[in-house]
Amino acid sequence: MKKVVLVLAALSLAGAVAAQDTAPRPAAPAPARPRLFDAGQRSAPAPARGRDASPPRPGPGRDRPNWNSGGSYTVLDLGGLLDVVLHGRDAWRNYPVPPRPPVAGPPVDYFRPATAFSGRVGLKAGFNLATVTGGNAPGKFSYRDGFSTGAMADFSLNGYLSLHPELLFSQKGARYDETDANGARFAGKLRLNYFDLPVLLRAHAPGGLFAEVGPQLGYLVGQKTESTEYVPGQDPRATSRVDMAGTRRLELGYVAGVGYQLPQGLEISARYNGGLADLNDPASGPALHNALIQLQIGYLFK
């Protein structure tokens, strides 16, 4: 009886071992093969090289920002190309972006076409101190007050130069005081009204300062001469003339000045305005020329 029990126990143990050996087993994972362009399948993780890495490791391939357009361009030499081949597409993306290098003058974007010829328009007005130079009587003419007003435009040529045309209505002329050989004294005011078209070249300095110079074409649209004659022993006699006979209508001149312009468009300037053509038409005797000091304020719209 004991032998039967031992035989049955041995058979049960052998069946259990056989059942365990025939049960399905999970397949072992295949060894991972590194892929050339997959940074996640590297055998060892790459060290952190992003913006937060401390200290950042410089490298031959990196993204450099394009500060004008907001994008970036990639500088990649032979070492950077090898790094890409060995470590995948993310190799140059993790290089730190270098700080912006110092540049002289405004930044230039060499990766896009130059901007088109752009400009701004505005209005201006000012105070004039006008006189006439020349003539055969030194000290005969003195300054008279007046005003100027009109429109202007400013076309940027580059970061430092601009073309600045204007169209102004401007009061010129002079006060005069002269005594002739007979002792009679003549005093009065010469009023000359012009439409002026200066075409100036402006040179801009850092901080808003600018200098301007250029030619000017003027056209006489009105004239008024007021005179008072003082003769010894007689009452003063005042006369007035409004016609433009004897005065040249077209005037060629020049302008030179300095000023200050705010980024918002407000500007102030001081300039000298001189005439090159003789005021007399036809010319007779010493030539007379307009001379004008202008203090102006203007605003260029964006």
Rg of the chain in Å (alpha carbons): 44
- Beta bridge partners, 220, equal 194
Read off the pLDDT of each residue in 266-279 and give the average, rounded to a whole number: 95
Task: Work out the percent of the chain whose per-residue pLDDT is above 70.
Answer: 61
236-249 pLDDT, tens digit per residue, is 888 888 988 889 99
The pLDDT, as a whole number, for residue 282 is: 84
**Domain limits of the chain?**
53-103, 119-300
The whole-number pLDDT of residue 35 equals 46
Is the pLDDT assigned to residue 26 strictly greater than 70?
no
* CATH 2.40.160.20, applies to 119-300: yes
Q: Are 191 and 171 in contact (CB under 8 A)?
A: yes
- φ, ψ (nearest 5 deg) of residue 99: -65, 160
* Percent residues over pLDDT 90 in the chain: 43
> How many angstroms separate the CA atoms of 198 and 54, rounded?
60
Predicted confidence (pLDDT) per residue in 205-224, tens digit: 999 999 999 999 999 999 99
Would you say 195 and 167 are in contact if contact means Cβ atoms under 8 Å apart? yes
